[in-house]
Structure 1
Amino acid sequence: MIELLPVDDAEPAFVHSPLLKGALLTLEYIETNGPIGLTPSKALKRYFVEWAAEAFAWPQYTAEELYYLNKVLNEADFVPLFMLHDLLISLKLVRHQKGAMHVTKLGKQLRYHPGALWAVLAKRIFGGFDATPYARYEVPFVGNWDVYLNVINVEAHMGCTDDHLCEVLFGSIRGQHGLAHANLKSAFYVHCLRSLVWLGLLHETTTGEALRRERIFSKTPLWLAALWLETDPLVLARQVH
């Protein structure tokens, strides 16, 4: 069972959540500067994408890294912003009107309550939010957040790789299942692990290069502050021993 614990607005662990930071900065931008212009396809206009790339300083998507790959920045080039835009719309924190994105009454309220804002973002993601549009290629994946979070709660307590999680959860072994394992791991990252990193619940580090590259995941202080899970007693038992 996934249970979100109430977290105080001043919780220091929120520093680990780039998704919360991006949401707060976007809502603040609209209230300070007015509605954000939209393209005919309802994407955020470049002037805001460029501002957000600098202001968000999103890990692995900094302005420097984005401009290294793109001469100009469109919303689709800044994947976290692309996803954040859809989240804010689906949660009715912003709305599209007359060619621009406006903040709603609810968005104005939650801007001043980071704990509540983080909770609604997390509940939306755990409630079946589809991450497929934010992948470089289609990676369909059917998963169960309840199972994933409870397993990660135990396995990543001292840090572990995504290869290890795929072996525990799916019986897929890197050295035995080749391309099928690589595809499964990619899908699991897009639909689960990346969202947990962006929510600020997991910390991701990368070691090695090319085929030797490994992602290592560990729980952040926000995981401990915001989640209550059925496997918590197992984690406590491991700590005792």
Structure 2
Amino acid sequence: MMTPFNPIIDPELPAQHSPLLRAALLTIGYIEANGPIGLTASRGLKRYFVEWAAEAFDWRWYSASDLYAVNKVLNESDFPPLVILHDLLVRAKLVRHRQGALHLTRLAGQLKNDPASLWTLLASRLLFDTDHSKYTRYGDHLLGNWDIFLNVINVEVQNGVSEETLCSVLFGSDEQETPHGYPRQRAALYIHVLRPLCWAGLLEEVRTGEGFARQEHFFKTPLWHAALSLETDRHLESVTRH
């Protein structure tokens, strides 16, 4: 598993910028205060916790009001950030399934007071050890690797960049569209790379417009500069606004 992150000197940075870390800490705190979280027969988190998490996480574009606008009741599968968080916590050995419930491990107890180390563990798993194709509509994979993605994004996002422009830089023109009229390569780039970077807190997404007219632009957060040292850093001074 690739782990290119610098040691995080300021422990406040991950907490300020990473919704993933905030949600993990809230989940750990919930289990400590209320006991293990019940699981369904298919090992999903039970509705009472999903409902609590939707309110407590207040995840951008997945707030409780956003989720209830399209769901009468909330199951784990209706809350994509929680689906991925659950998977990450298990694979990072911060929680375990036992006797029909989600229990904390000793490691979770140790890392809850070390948010920088907890962030590094979760972000590394999310970016470099997760197959995001299962979260795409068509199971699309993405050509390339994280060394390429991070170094290209490092330059292109220096002054902010649109998803469309970044996709063109990485892959050229994208002619194939989904049945809903959205370019598949761009959709795959978002799910495999851009969304994980935003959820980890390394990038910020800014949306404008609605429906098919909506555009996404991406900007580095201070956590990007603190956590990453990349080969393309030497080119950043010459970058100008697109």
TM-score of the superposition, structure 2-length normalised? 0.92
Asked whether the 8 Å contact 1:93–1:105 carries over to 2, the reply is yes
Equivalent position of 1:11 in the other structure? 12
Equivalent position of 1:95 in the other structure? 96
Q: Which amino acid aligns with 1:92?
A: K
Measure, in 1, the Cα distance between the counterparts of 2:171 and 2:116: 33
Equivalent position of 1:166 in the other structure? 167
Measure, in 1, the Cα distance between the counterparts of 2:141 and 2:239: 35
CA RMSD in angstroms comes to 1.8
Residues 1:103 and 1:9: Cα distance change in structure 2 (over 3 Å): farther
Equivalent position of 1:55 in the other structure? 56
Q: Secondary structure of the residue that 1:96 maps to in structure 2?
A: strand
How many residues are aligned here?
236
Q: Secondary structure of the residue that 1:3 maps to in structure 2?
A: coil
Which segments of 5 or more consecutive residues in structure 2 lack a partner in the other structure?
Answer: none
Q: How does 1:128-207 map to 2 (within 5 A)?
A: 128-172=129-173, 177=175, 179=177, 182-207=183-208
Q: Which amino acid aligns with 1:124?
A: R
CA offset digits 1:98-136 (Å, max 9, x no partner): 000000001111111110001011211232311223334
Residues 1:187 and 1:238: Cα distance change in structure 2 (over 3 Å): closer
Measure, in 2, the Cα distance between the counterparts of 1:189 and 1:238: 23
The alpha-carbon deviation at position 233 of structure 1 amounts to 1.0
CA offset digits 1:192-222 (Å, max 9, x no partner): 1000010011110112233322110010111
Greater shift, 41-50 or 126-135, is seen at 126-135
CA offset digits 1:23-72 (Å, max 9, x no partner): 11111111111100000000000000000000000000000000001000
TM-score of the superposition, structure 1-length normalised? 0.92
Greater shift, 6-15 or 228-237, is seen at 6-15
Using the aligned pairs only, state the percent identity. 53
Q: Secondary structure of the residue that 2:11 maps to in structure 1?
A: coil
Q: How does 1:32-43 map to 2 (within 5 A)?
A: 32-43=33-44
Q: Which runs of 4+ in 1 moved over 6 A?
A: none
Residues 1:127 and 1:64: Cα distance change in structure 2 (over 3 Å): same
Which segments of 5 or more consecutive residues in structure 1 lack a partner in the other structure?
Answer: none
Q: Secondary structure of the residue that 1:19 maps to in structure 2?
A: helix
Q: Which amino acid aligns with 2:92?
A: L
Kindly indicate whether residue 74 of structure 2 is the aligned counterpart of residue 73 of structure 1: yes
Q: Secondary structure of the residue that 1:88 maps to in structure 2?
A: helix
Q: Which amino acid aligns with 2:136?
A: A
Q: Which amino acid aligns with 1:179?
A: E
Residues 1:14 and 1:104: Cα distance change in structure 2 (over 3 Å): same
The alpha-carbon deviation at position 236 of structure 1 amounts to 3.6
Greater shift, 136-145 or 111-120, is seen at 136-145
Asked whether the 8 Å contact 1:82–1:134 carries over to 2, the reply is no
